[in-house]
Amino acid sequence: MNFSQIPGQKETIARLTRSVKEERVSHAQLFSGPDGCGSLALALAYAQYVSCENRTEMDSCGICKSCVKYEKMIHPDLHFVFPVIKDKKNSEPVSDTYIEQWREFVKRSPYFTINNWLDSIEVGNAQGLIFATEASEIIKKLSLKSFESDFKIMIIWLPEKMHQATANKLLKMIEEPPEKTLFLLVSDEPDKVISTILSRCQLIKIPAFSNKDIRDYLAGRFNTTENKANDIAKVANGNIIRAIELCENEDSTLRNLDRFKTLMRYAWKRDIISIIGWSEEMAATGRENQKNFISFSLRILRENLMLSLDQLKNSLVFLSGEEASFSDNFHPYINQNNIYPLTDEFNLAYSHVEANGNAKIIFLDLALRITRLIR
């Protein structure tokens, strides 16, 4: 994709293009910023710019042989690594197993979460990881000479999902890669990337989008009214992925809100039988959906605390319509006395889900602890 297709981020784009013009391209770079900052889109546009045969001062030409192949993500010198899942056919899968689905998915939009990606390949209860076998594939690909471009480019999406063995095998190559090899790591949680890899990368810090950038993007892509685009941009708070989700798919947000409301109602009533039923329903949703729900719950708790602290007038509350209606009545139950233990419990549940714990026990324990904290 071209830089011109990315709303805003002008300073970051200028820094990236300058590094190419001055021939100061670091061999390993880590793109990272707040949720929904467009880090993958920037990495894709940067890779295309590096390989473009007729680049301009600020962008790739979009029409040369290299750009045409980059738009289709079939350039022979562009390689991808991303989280995948084990299944009955692939006990040790690699990214190339899912490369066709990945290309089609990213071409639709470069703004998405790991939940969106895993849902698209119908993983069920599995969690996406970059497995140990991937390291051998990376080393094999990058050991070959480039086919068409000066650079061979490896984009690793979510290196924090990398198996320890994979990371260890790649350390030497990332530190001393073959000539004209470029690693672009795109991370949502750089603090979870193995430190030895992190220390070998130049960090590219990406800011959140401005409300104006998101508003203009929504108006152009979804043909929304100015008022609706303004409202969504405010709620998204710089997160373009959330803005897109609010525009094109309200079902997931409404489903999580309904689960949250149900949990809080049962917890307040101390209805243990219903709590058990709720925990069993949550256990059946799949781990990525469970993590998505917990992340949603943490955001709702934060917004309701802001309401309790009367921060609405200071524009520190970011809630959509249904969320705002629910929070009008709910926010008095969230205060400075219980917000920390509540968030601790949700964060603990998230880490247990991520560690493949028993979901029924995790959510039952979470719900029972909330019954004590919500009153």
Here the contacts of 320-327 (C-beta below 8 Å, separation 24 or greater) are 320/231, 320/232, 320/235, 320/246, 320/253, 322/253, 322/254, 322/257, 323/253, 323/257, 326/257, 326/261, 327/300, 327/303
CA-angle at 227, arms to 226 and 231, nearest 5°: 115
For domain 3-205, give its CATH number from 3.40.50.1370, 3.40.50.300, 3.20.20.70, 3.40.1740.10.
3.40.50.300
Q: Other CB atoms closer than 10 Å to residue 129's CB: what's the count? A: 17
Q: What is the pLDDT of residue 315?
A: 66
Q: CA dihedral in degrees (116, 111, 78, 45; nearest 10)?
A: 180
Distance CA 130, CA 222 (A): 34
Give residue for tokens 């880090």: 39
Give residue for tokens 């043909």: 223
Q: What is the pTM of this model?
A: 0.76
Mean pLDDT computed over 320-343: 90
Residue 370 has pLDDT above 90, yes or no: yes
Q: What is the pLDDT of residue 43?
A: 97
Domain layout of the chain by residue ranges:
3-205, 209-249, 252-373
Helix 287-308 / helix 339-354 crossing angle, nearest 10 deg: 170
Closest CA to 139 of 88, 174, 90, 100: 174
Residue 96 has pLDDT above 80, yes or no: yes
Closest CA to 241 of 8, 28, 38: 38
Q: What is the pLDDT of residue 340?
A: 95
370 near 345, Cβ under 8 Å? yes
- Quote the percentage of the chain above a pLDDT of 70: 96
- Quote the percentage of the chain above a pLDDT of 90: 65
Mean pLDDT computed over 323-341: 92
Q: What is the pLDDT of residue 233?
A: 87
Residue 125 has pLDDT above 80, yes or no: no
Distance CA 98, CA 277 (A): 36
Confidence band (pLDDT; 50, 70, 90) for 251? Answer: low
Count Cα atoms within 13 angstroms, Cβ side, for 150.
11
Residue 33 has pLDDT above 90, yes or no: yes
The tens digit of pLDDT for each residue in 82-94 reads: 999 887 676 678 9
Closest CA to 2 of 57, 53, 41: 41
Closest CA to 300 of 248, 359, 254, 238: 254
Q: What is the pLDDT of residue 16?
A: 96
Q: Which is more confident, 160 or 123?
A: 160
Distance CA 210, CA 216 (A): 10
Contacts of 254 (CB under 8 A, 6+ apart): 322
Of 57-61, 140-144, 312-316, the range with the lowest mean pLDDT is: 312-316
Give residue for tokens 């489903």: 255
Burial of residue 322 (CB within 10 Å: 0-12, 13-18, 19+) is middle
Mean pLDDT computed over 238-266: 87
Mean pLDDT computed over 314-332: 81
Q: Which is more confident, 141 or 123?
A: 141
H or E stretch covering 157: strand 152-157
207 near 37, Cβ under 8 Å? yes
Distance CA 198, CA 296 (A): 28
Closest CA to 34 of 215, 190, 199: 190
Q: Which is more confident, 162 or 125?
A: 162
128 near 354, Cβ under 8 Å? no
Mean pLDDT of the chain: 90
The tens digit of pLDDT for each residue in 263-310 reads: 999 999 999 999 999 999 999 988 878 988 998 999 999 989 999 888
Residue 314 has pLDDT above 80, yes or no: no
Residue 209 has pLDDT above 90, yes or no: yes
Helix 39-51 / helix 10-21 crossing angle, nearest 10 deg: 30
Confidence band (pLDDT; 50, 70, 90) for 355? Answer: confident
Confidence band (pLDDT; 50, 70, 90) for 193? Answer: very high
Beta bridge partners of residue 183, listed in sequence order: 28, 154
Count Cα atoms within 13 angstroms, Cβ side, for 286.
13
